[in-house]
Amino acid sequence: MGQSAADYAKPAPRRYFILGTGRNGSSLFSAILAASGANFGMTHTGTWDPRTGAYEHPALGRGAACYRLSERLRDASHVSRWVMWRRKWLRAKAKIHLRRALHEAEYLKTGDARVPMLARQLGFTPCILLLFRNYREQFASAYLRHGSSVSELRHYYFDVNQSALLALSIYGGTVVHYADIVDHTRTEWARTVGEVTGLPADRLLEKRVQLVKPRTPTGTSPLIEDTDLDALDAQLRSLCGRIFAASRLAERT
């Protein structure tokens, strides 16, 4: 059956995407959101384990992986019919997984800034919650976890955060600093996130107290110096507490 004029007039359902690098505190942030009423499409455990990731919808991960594989075949698909059909199959499979995740969850955690674009193509309205962590802290955590080199970490930090900023400039949302979440004296982030998502700010702060033990800031090591990363970090910090509306480009697409 075709869609009626009333169906077309209905606003596209909104989905909130938590974007950022790995080892940036996104599992903790998601745990606070989930405890405050955010629907991640999975059972809320009421706890948070800092040693492991959590709140990643499995269908979203599978869909994003299929899409990334299809993109690797993009150039070769022009010279091979088999590759062309495999790329189409991967993209179709990606849509199946992503559609499932988008129907089951209102909040989705991902490190891939292309996923909101795919969600828009599937008829949803993305909103971005960009979570970042100081690059020195993120580097140390990622190194201890994965043994990555500084060159790998640097490229990854730039690519993920700048891609997330691009998505934010198109779809709107806000920026949150990990340091603000773990510092019990800082509360402004909850007001901003509450205004963007509709979750009660006082409940976000209440759940933060339950999930995060008070800690003394440890600072960052001065042994790693990078002026470009310092500039990106300063840019991200300057955007915290601000709410960005979706661009007209997002509305047209």
- In this structure, are residues 152 and 41 in contact, taking their beta carbons and an 8 Å threshold? no
Distance CA 87, CA 166 (A): 26
- Predicted confidence at residue 1, as pLDDT, reads 40
Averaged pLDDT for residues 140-148: 92
CA-angle at 195, arms to 190 and 200, nearest 5°: 60
Structural domain range at position 197: 22-40+109-252
Is there a domain that residue 86 lies in? yes
The answer on 28 and 145 residing in a single domain is: yes
Q: Is 45 a member of any domain? A: no
User: What's the pLDDT tens digit per position in 34-86?
Assistant: 999 999 998 765 565 655 558 999 999 999 999 999 999 988 877 889 999 99
Q: At which of 49, 73, 104 does a domain end?
A: 104
The model carries a pTM of 0.92
Q: What's the mean per-residue pLDDT of the chain?
A: 91
Mean pLDDT for 103-128 is: 97
Rounded (10°) angle between helices 26-35 and 201-211: 120
- Asked, for residue 16, whether it belongs to a domain, the answer is no
Residues 190 and 113 in one domain: yes
Are 93 and 157 found together in one domain? no
Q: For the chain, what is the radius of gyration of the CA atoms?
A: 19
88 plus 195 within the same structural domain? no
The answer to whether residues 130 and 188 belong to one domain is: yes
Q: Is residue 166 scored above 70 in pLDDT? A: yes
75 & 124 share domain: no
Q: Do 76 and 201 belong together in one domain?
A: no
107: β partners: 16
State whether 90 and 145 are in the same domain.
no
DSSP 1-64: -PPPHHHHHSPPPEEEEEE--TTSSHHHHHHHHHHTT---SS---S---TTS-----HHHHHHH
Helical pair 58-72 and 81-104, crossing angle rounded to 10 deg: 160
Burial class (CB in 10 A: 0-12, 13-18, 19+), 211: middle
User: pLDDT above 90 covers what percent of the chain?
Assistant: 79
Let me know whether 197 and 117 are in one domain: yes
C-alpha to C-alpha distance for 117 and 167, rounded to whole angstroms? 8
In the chain, the number of structural domains is: 2
Same domain, 132 and 164: yes
Residue that is last in its domain, among 104, 138, 159 = 104
Predicted local confidence at residue 211, as pLDDT? 94
Q: Is the dihedral of CA 137, 170, 166, 77 positive or negative?
A: positive
Element (H, E) at 218: none
Higher pLDDT, 4 or 230: 230
Q: Is 109 helix (H, G, I), strand (E, B) or coil?
A: strand
The answer on 77 and 138 residing in a single domain is no
- Segment (H or E) for 132: strand 125-132
The sign of the CA dihedral 125, 66, 108, 174 is negative
Q: 101 with 60: CB under 8 angstroms?
A: yes
Q: Both 205 and 136 in a single domain?
A: yes
